[in-house]
Amino acid sequence: MAPAPSRGLALLRATGPAGIASAIVLVVAAFAAVFGPLLAPYDPNLPNLSLAWVGPVGGHLLGYDFEGRDVLSRLLAGAQTTMLGPLAAVVISVPAGTLLAVTAAWRRGASDAVISSSLNILFTFPAILLALLAAAVFGASLVAAVLALSAAYTPYVARVLRGAALKERTQAYVAALEVQGAPATSVCLRHLIPNIAPLIVAQATILFGYAMVDLAAISFLGLGVQPPTANWGVMISENQAGLLQGYPLPALAAGACIVLVVIAVNVLGERLFEQARVARR
């Protein structure tokens, strides 16, 4: 097998121009997420009420927000919480979901029944509701929201992957390995999981989109990231008053950033999904 990076690149190239464009957008966004605060031309957190709502002028491409802070700087700084939070949720729920799915698929029988029915029950909680509950219990914070979302997404990931894992489990090569006496964990880690890896990656990408939207929504409601920490969802709620007063730019700019990144995530995720589907035939 070719080494992982070149296989990854080949996979990416196979997603077509739309997929590549999306990947580029995401790389830019990731860059902003990591280096955002350093790239910001002005202090994203310094209020200056005398400049509140002033439109684009001078070096301020997107104008000022409701507290007189530079919008562009705040967007760059906010990229961090807006995207690293969802990333954490994905990083927690995808391995957890994969573990559950593979365990259920590997053991089948009673273990599978137990895991599947518990997952079905956990499914009754929409992610946002769980995050609201978490905020009520533990106080509103980014950490609480991320944990709640992870808990809500894990059963979803497990359910999606369980089908694929089951199919893989019944392949002939798995039986051959079992007969040779290979231990279960080894077979799973070195063969089963790598074979459903494209599906996992595709699912993780799409999940990131959901997580971003959910987390931004929760922050918008004031139950996630707390102001004055910069966050695109928070920026929308902070600047909502401006909509009615004729200063829509700050809120719209934050909204546009969210939409752009989510489109890129969706398009890339869908393309990856297609590739995963084709590869499994």
Partner 1 sequence: MASLFIASFVIFAALYLAPGNPVAALSGGRPLPPGSIRVLDQRYHLNEPFLAQYWYWLDNALHGNLGISITLRENVSTLIASRIWTTAGLVLYASVIIVVLGVGAGIASGLRPGRLDTSTLVVTAISAAIPAFVAAIGLIVVFAVKLRWFPALGNGTGFLSNIRHFTLPAVALAVASLAIVARVTRAAVREESDREHVQTAVSRGIPARHVIWRHIVRNAAIPITTITGITIASLIAVAAVVETAFSLNGLGAYLVQAAQSKDIAVVQGISLVLVTAFVVVNLLMDVLYAALDPRVTLGSQPR
- Supply the minimum distance, in Å, between the C-beta of residue 126 and partner 1: 4
User: Residues 23, 155, 233, 234: which binds partner 1 (CB under 8 A)?
Assistant: 233
216 binding partner 1? (CB under 8 A): yes
25 binding partner 1? (CB under 8 A): no
- Supply the minimum distance, in Å, between the C-beta of residue 125 and partner 1: 7
Extract the tokens encoding 185. 């964990």
Q: How far apart are CA 70 and CA 37, in angstroms?
A: 13
Give the sign of the dihedral formed by CA 166, CA 171, CA 174, CA 175: positive
20 binding partner 1? (CB under 8 A): no
Extract the tokens encoding 81. 């919480």
> 165 to each of 130, 193, 239, 279, how far by Cα in Å?
27, 8, 46, 15
> 18 to each of 32, 59, 131, 269, how far by Cα in Å?
21, 33, 33, 11
Query: What are the residues facing 86 on neighbouring strands?
Result: none
> 94 to each of 98, 125, 209, 232, how far by Cα in Å?
6, 18, 13, 24
- Supply the minimum distance, in Å, between the C-beta of residue 118 and partner 1: 9
128 binding partner 1? (CB under 8 A): yes
User: Residues 211, 213, 230, 272: which binds partner 1 (CB under 8 A)?
Assistant: 213
User: Residues 55, 56, 126, 183: which binds partner 1 (CB under 8 A)?
Assistant: 126
Give, as ranges, the residues between 240 and 269 that touch partner 1 (CB under 8 A): 240, 243-244, 246, 248, 251-252, 255, 258-259, 262-263, 265-267
Three-state DSSP state, 123: coil
Nearer Cβ to partner 1 (142/174): 142
Classify residue 245 by burial, with Cβ atoms within 10 Å: 0-12, 13-18, 19+.
exposed
217 binding partner 1? (CB under 8 A): yes
Q: Are 71 and 79 in contact (CB under 8 A)?
A: no
* Residue recorded with tokens 């993780």: 204
129 binding partner 1? (CB under 8 A): yes
User: What are the contacts of 119-123 at 24+ separation with CB within 8 A?
Assistant: 119/155, 119/158, 119/159, 120/155, 120/159, 122/151, 122/152, 122/154, 122/155, 123/155, 123/156, 123/159
User: Residues 29, 32, 89, 140: which binds partner 1 (CB under 8 A)?
Assistant: 140
- Supply the minimum distance, in Å, between the C-beta of residue 109 and partner 1: 18
Q: How far apart are CA 18 and CA 5, in angstroms?
A: 20
- Supply the minimum distance, in Å, between the C-beta of residue 236 and partner 1: 6
Residues in binding contact with partner 1, number by CB under 8 A: 43
222 binding partner 1? (CB under 8 A): yes
Stretch that binds partner 1, among 89-97, 119-127, 165-173, 175-183 (CB under 8 A): 119-127
User: Residues 75, 223, 225, 276: which binds partner 1 (CB under 8 A)?
Assistant: 223
- Which residues are at the interface with partner 1 (CB under 8 A)? 120-121, 123-129, 132-138, 140, 209, 213, 216-217, 220-223, 233, 236-237, 240, 243-244, 246, 248, 251-252, 255, 258-259, 262-263, 265-267
